[in-house]
Amino acid sequence: MSLLDAQAGEEYIIKEIQTDDEELNAFLFSLGCYSGEPITVISHLKGGCVVSIKDGRYNIDKQLASAIII
């Protein structure tokens, strides 16, 4: 399931990132978003969702949220 299907307030473990875009992969890696890391959806928004990764909170769009498999 992707982040779009996640319950707000629940912590999940990232299983994989489904994208062929190396630049996007590098960006997510710099945020600490990679396989095996915990991620929490803080809230769902119309255009995506707010997530907590490590000590940071990030607003990600629907396309990116659908690429993060938990």
What's this model's pTM, rounded to 2 decimal places? 0.87
User: What is the Cα–Cα distance from 28 to 12, expressed in whole angstroms?
Assistant: 16
pLDDT of 11-68, one tens digit each?
999 999 998 889 988 988 998 899 999 999 999 998 899 999 998 999 999 989 999 9
C-beta of residue 39 within 8 angstroms of C-beta of residue 11? yes
- Produce one character per residue of 17-31: b if its CB has 16 or more CB atoms within 10 Å, e if not: beeeeeeeeeebeee
